[in-house]
A and B are shown apart, each in its own frame.
Chain A
Amino acid sequence: AQSVTQLDSQVPVFEEAPVELRCNYSSSVSVYLFWYVQYPNQGLQLLLKYLSGSTLVKGINGFEAEFNKSQTSFHLRKPSVHISDTAEYFCAVSDRDDKIIFGKGTRLHILP
């Protein structure tokens, strides 16, 4: 069975500082990995996804993530955050059975 662990429920970061949101997964088969962002009172928006190939994946809004198979991780990073990045971030895994398993989310707080 698949699972996703987001190690931090909340991450405070000063504006223009770098940030890393951690995600670890477990699965017995090859997986596809996603990061979604949810702004207050809105649906989820896809930030980026890892399907295969290059382990460094670039997404929208300056975010990127690196797939590390040996550590079963897919951490999300941004070199310089902006106040508009304040949101909930969900890591997710799929093994192509039409289902996505979401982590519990990490709330990113941007401090002025």
Chain B
Amino acid sequence: DAMVIQNPRYQVTQFGKPVTLSCSQTLNHNVMYWYQQKSSQAPKLLFHYYDKDFNNEADTPDNFQSRRPNTSFCFLDIRSPGLGDAAMYLCATSDRTVAPDTQYFGPGTRLTVL
């Protein structure tokens, strides 16, 4: 089945230690998104890629970076995680050629910062 895969499902890191979360998709969608979701809150968009074009949300901290080396993969890098960065991180994809953009989500990676 075509899907959005996130690895790992659970990630533990130490305060200040860089961490990378991974997302891959078999849907061949041209848009990939990263969201941060804290407990009992709505997902918050961090940034998205349309093909290779990177679109950062204005309020996304510089501590968060992203890479998309090819259509299938997208990475979220947190350069110096703080305790406030503990959250569920959701990857999603959509196909801009299909109107409107309906997003398909991966299962998420729960990040714990010690």
Contacts and interface: CB of A to CB of B under 8 A. Distances in A.
For the residues of A in contact with B, the DSSP-based class is strand
Contact size range, B: 20 to 34
Contact of B108 (A41, A49, A94, A107): A41
19 contacts: A34-B102, A43-B4, A43-B92, A43-B106, A43-B108, A46-B104, A49-B102, A90-B42, A90-B43, A96-B101, A98-B55, A98-B96, A98-B101, A99-B45, A100-B45, A100-B101, A100-B103, A102-B42, A102-B43
Interface residues of A, number: 22
B44 to A, nearest CB: 8
A16 B4 CA distance: 33
A44 B45 CA distance: 14
Contacts of B40: 105, 107
A32 interface: yes
Contact of A98 (B6, B48, B104, B110): B48
B100 A32 contact: yes
Contact of B90 (A44, A94, A99): A44
Given A42-B108, A46-B104, 7 more contacts: A43-B4, A43-B106, A90-B43, A98-B96, A100-B103, A102-B43, A104-B41
A48 to B, nearest CB: 11
Interface in B70-108: 88, 90, 92, 94, 96, 99-108
